[in-house]
Structure 1
Amino acid sequence: MSAAGNKPADLDPAENRRRWRALGVGLVAAFMTLLDVSIVNVAVPSLDRALHASPSDLQWVLSGYALTFGLALVPAGRFGDARGRRNAFVFGIALFTITSALAGLAPSPTWLVIARLLQGAAAGIVNPQVTGVIQEMFHGPERARPFGLLGATIGISTAVGPLLGGLLIALGGESHGWRYVFFVNVPVGIVAVILGWRLLPSRPKEHVDRRRLDPVGVILLGVGVLLVLLPLVQEQQWRTPWKWVLIPAGLLILLVFALWEHRYARTRQPLFDLRLFRFRSYTLGSLIALIYFGGFTAIFFIFTLFLQNGRGYSALISGLAVTPFALGSAAASAAGGRFVNRVGRPLVAVGLLGVVLGLAGTWLALRLFPDLPAPWVTAPPLLLAGIGSGLVIAPNQTLTLAQVPVPQAGSGAGMLQTGQRIGSAAGIAAVGSAFFASLASNHGDFTTAFEHSLLVATVIIALGLIAALIDVLLNRRHRH
């Protein structure tokens, strides 16, 4: 391995350029699909006024995307492993582009909800292929840099979504700005389809895996994830306590899925190879990702509500307020990608500690300076939290997937991201419940509600820190 350029010494320069261009296309696609998780949040008020949507409609516009995103990840990852990543990637991006256009043209709430459900499924098809391409085209320690770039893409897309959404709404106006939020994907998607077909690897016909794609496993996993996610994404709309019965039912079906996969793997390639959990790096890394996304994603949800509804800031100012987090995450992700192979899991633990301190600092800043502009007083601690986040997402993903064999790269990455989506939905439900409960009990005091829910998010991320520290201690004991 040569140090220069992080490329193997025997790799043809033209092929090296091709794989980095393929990675660039994948990162753009990942950015676009993950951006749509958060960008719509700031568009909800204008979308509500334009389409006269009910609260249930708005909830499905926001959470339906995450729901179908999570359902598609593992089957799409397995399909890419078996039949070639290029076909799955191009199909997913083409579907995402078409459904983005349909969402922007929506004449009614029902139309928009259906478009968002299909858009989320398309995003779930695309994302495992990006991780699979990194696993396939890069090898060993050189994966750290592309995974660092992917981690930066994940962190920045989530954090910058409200800012870009605010800019597009300011550009298009209150009546039509929300449509621009969806239309912006169309030209980018068309270019990604063309370049993806040209640059992404496709298995030669003689190497195409023609084994069955485990339809029973697909159904069991889909139903299990659906039952777990539904009460979480509909937490505010389904008032009945019976909704929580769906979660143990979903977990039971996921147990049946695990038993089926164990049996299926004796003779054929399963949808997801449970033997990946024999690797402690994969097991603990997946747990850390699930917990971290439970706190990380919820922060922007409650921060947007606090700034717009509580303090009266515009969508644009609300978006600008999270820019320090995005900048810190971008800078630290690049550094994390370079150091993760040298430092290992302690780097993730340091990042989680930075996020916890940054969020605690945000809470403290609002308590100490209640009369100053909230975007200004929260900027320094959010910058610290963003730096910490950059040291979590990319390094953790690199370490988690380091021992995953290339033939299971797509499904392994799909399961990792499924955990992230479940964590996000659970975190938004838990933190959102704390926010609205505090809002109701404190007579509409948005500042108190934000402070209480921010503490809940901080505690969730602190649990991820504990998991990372356990891994660090186990590694040290193993070495000794």
Structure 2
Amino acid sequence: MNARRWAALAVVLGAVFLAAFDFNVVTIAIPSIQRGLGTNFSEMQLIVAGYALSFAVLLITGGRLGDLYGRRRMYVIGMAGFTIASALCGFARSPTALVGSRVLQGAFAAVMVPQALSFIQVTFTAREQSLAYAIYGITIGFGMIAGQVLGGLLVSANLFGLGWRPVFLVNLPIGAVAMAFAWWLVRESRAPGGLKLDPGGVVLVSAALTLLLYPLIRGESAGWPPWTWASLAAAAVLIVMFVRYERWKTDRDGSPLLVLSLFRHRSFVVGLGVGLSFFSVLAPFLVLLTEYLQSGLDLPPRAAGLRFLPFAVSFLAASFASARLAPRLGRAILQIGAGLMVTGLVTLMAVVRSSTPDSSATAYILPLVVYGLGQGSLQAPLVNFVLADVPPDAAGSASGVVTMLQQLSFALGVAVIGSVFVVCLGPDPDPARYGWALDHALKWNVVLLTVTFVAAFALPPRLRRKVKDAASA
């Protein structure tokens, strides 16, 4: 039974890998998609942002659906929809079709991904959860890295003359295998009886997150017109309305979409703050470094993707090591990770700000190895700190909040730090200008990681071990 639980964890983490992979793989395939479909810059933004938007907006709802109707059931439904949407992306014949398919892909990702954290919460003992959360963090990072490395290889290989399309079609066999193994290995679970769906909460939070994220994603390219600020203001109003509605819903029938009592746990609230600053760094680093390598240094997708291999190896090594070190070092492992990431970024900034851009692979090994060691040390154990005090019956709601925060941070980081990069780049950049723009953008990453380091002091020094009911174990 013990081996079966860990095998089932590998199955549900397939959703986490695919969601992270598809967020990043498009960035390295952008030039090929532009040539193949004749897309303009605005359409490419929607292809990238449509996935992130629908994913983030529906995550809390997806987590609650697992509580209500069964986590394995919602995982399989989400994986089936995600696989079909991937096929639609791969066979899209127009920019509009690809944008619509990406939105659908993100929506089904929001259904399947929260079930992974819920599964960990209700399946493993407190001692086992430390390792399970570390593997969850590894999977997110590995999926993001694979999007860069494997994406570059797939585009350059031009399999069967399909160009960029295999970056989406590769999901089909993975999705089919994941669904088959889910029915075999993953036991069904759901929250205790009495919970109901909260349609009012779904509408309010979906509208609020859409109004918040859309202007952040499109604001820079549109020049921040009045509608973007009006949308952000309306989002703030709706968030307040959502919180008040959820309080009323809790008092009325105890079935809110978001369990507000989660925010009474210090580790959950502080952990979300640490996660916001940390996750806001990850996506812009990968996106902007890829842009620098392909557009600034004129590297082909395969060569640009392979530049990330040292990062991938060091990230995985540190992630596995942190699973053993986190129980002994406590929050210090997060601060060590943040410090290493800053060191790696400062070293990388010294490389890219050179007056003669260096495109050799060796120039990027040291900064990317150090950065990868830091990210692996921080990302793998972070979720364990965030969810340390969450009760199992609120697992779906908490999982939706955590995964929503990740996607919100990714979108926010790309929007804000990406805007710094675009402004510094200027309208007609030369190769040296790309290095200068990346250098300025990475300074924001350094600031955010410094905030992460300081904020971690507010977390408990050590993870508390909880005695769980044998039934939930």
For the criterion TM > 0.5, the same-fold answer is yes
Report the aligned-residue RMSD: 2.0
Aligned twin of 1:234: 218
Name the aligned partner's letter for residue 229 of structure 1: L
Give the superposition deviation at 1:25.
0.5
State the distance in 2 between where 1:53 and 1:443 align.
21
Q: Relative to 1, partners in 2 of residues 1:443 and 1:309: Cα closer, same or farther, differing over 3 Å?
A: closer
**Does 1:451 find its partner at 2:439?**
yes
Aligned residue type for 1:169 = V
Find 2:74's aligned residue among 63, 88, 97: 88
In 2, distance between residues paired with 1:135 and 1:369? Answer: 51
Q: 1:443 to 1:105 in 2, by over 3 A?
A: closer
Query: Paired residue for 2:234?
Result: 249
Q: Does 1:72 align with 2:36?
A: no
Q: Compared with structure 1, are the counterparts of its residues 373 and 196 closer, same or farther at alpha carbon in structure 2 (3 Å cutoff)? A: same
Among 186, 201, 204, the residue aligned to 1:217? 201
Q: Do the aligned partners of 1:329 and 1:387 also contact (CA within 8 Å) in 2?
A: yes
The worse-fitting range, judged by mean Cα deviation, of 247-256 and 360-369 is: 360-369
Deviations 1:415-448 (A, max 9, x none): 0111111111111011111111111188441111
CA distance in 2, matches of 1:166, 1:68: 25
1:176 aligns with 2:162: yes
Residues 1:259 and 2:247 are matched in the alignment: no
Q: Distance in 2 between matches of 1:81 and 1:413?
A: 10
Identity of aligned residues (%): 35
Change (3 A) 1:98 1:282: same
1:18 and 2:4 matched: yes
Q: TM-score, normalised by structure 2?
A: 0.93
* Mapped partners of 1:78, 1:229: distance in 2: 21
**Aligned partner of 1:465 among 450, 453, 457:** 453
- Structure 2 counterpart SS, 1:177: coil
Matched residues in 1 for 2:411 and 2:229: separation? 14
Q: Which residue number corresponds to residue 469 of structure 2?
A: none
Q: Tell me how far 1:71 sits from its aligned partner.
A: 1.2
Cα displacement (A) at 1:373: 2.5
The separation in 2 between residues aligned to 1:106 and 1:208, in whole angstroms, is 42
CA–CA separation in structure 2 for the residues paired with 1:352 and 1:416: 20
Give the distance between the partners of 1:173 and 1:239, measured in 2 at CA.
39
Distance apart, 1:92 and its partner CA? 0.2
TM-fit CA distance, 1:175: 6.2
- Of 318-327 and 374-383, deviating more is 374-383
Is residue 262–residue 274 contact of structure 1 (8 Å, CA) maintained in 2? yes
- The 5 A counterparts of 1:418-433 are 418-433=404-419
Cα shift at 1:459: 1.5
Alpha-carbon distance in structure 2 between the residues aligned to 1:180 and 1:262: 46
CA distance in 2, matches of 1:172, 1:208: 50
Question: Displacement, 1:276?
Answer: 0.9
Distance 1:208 1:425 in 2: 34
Q: Which amino acid aligns with 1:23?
A: L
Aligned counterpart for 1:193 among listed residues 179, 185, 188: 179
Indicate which of 330, 333, 341 corresponds to 2:327.
341
User: Relative to structure 1, is the Cα distance of residues 230 and 156 closer, same or farther in structure 2, using a 3 angstrom cutoff?
Assistant: same
In structure 2, stretches of 5+ residues that fail to align are: 464-473
C-alpha contact (below 8 Å) 2:327/2:462 kept by paired residues = no
Q: Distance in 2 between matches of 1:44 and 1:441?
A: 19
- Amino acid aligned to 2:217: V
Contact 1:152 1:333 in 2 (8 A): yes
Describe how 1:350-429 pairs up with structure 2 within 5 A.
350-367=336-353, 370-373=356-359, 375-429=361-415
Q: Take 1:304 and 1:292, find their aligned partners in 2: how far apart are those partners?
A: 20
Question: Separation in 1 of the partners of 2:307 and 2:214?
Answer: 31
Between the aligned partners of 1:422 and 1:136, the Cα distance in structure 2 is: 25
Give 1:135 shift: 0.8
Structure 1 CA distance for aligned equivalents of residues 292 and 360 of structure 2: 10
Residue 275 of structure 2 corresponds to 289
**1:155 and 2:141 are equivalent in the alignment:** yes
AA aligned to 1:50 is G
Give the letter aligned to residue 259 of structure 1: R
> Aligned to 2:309, which of 313, 318, 323?
323
Structure 1 unaligned runs (5+)?
1-14, 476-480
Label 1:173 to 1:23 Cα distance change in 2 as closer, same or farther (>3 A). Answer: closer
Specify whether residues 371 and 272 from structure 1 end up closer, same or farther in structure 2 by C-alpha distance, changes over 3 A only: closer
> Is contact 2:59–2:110 with CA below 8 Å preserved after alignment?
yes
Task: Give me the TM-score of the superposition, normalised by structure 1.
Answer: 0.92
Q: Give the number of aligned pairs.
A: 459
C-alpha spacing 1:424/1:210, structure 2 compared with 1 (3 Å): same
Task: Return the offset for 1:402.
Answer: 1.3
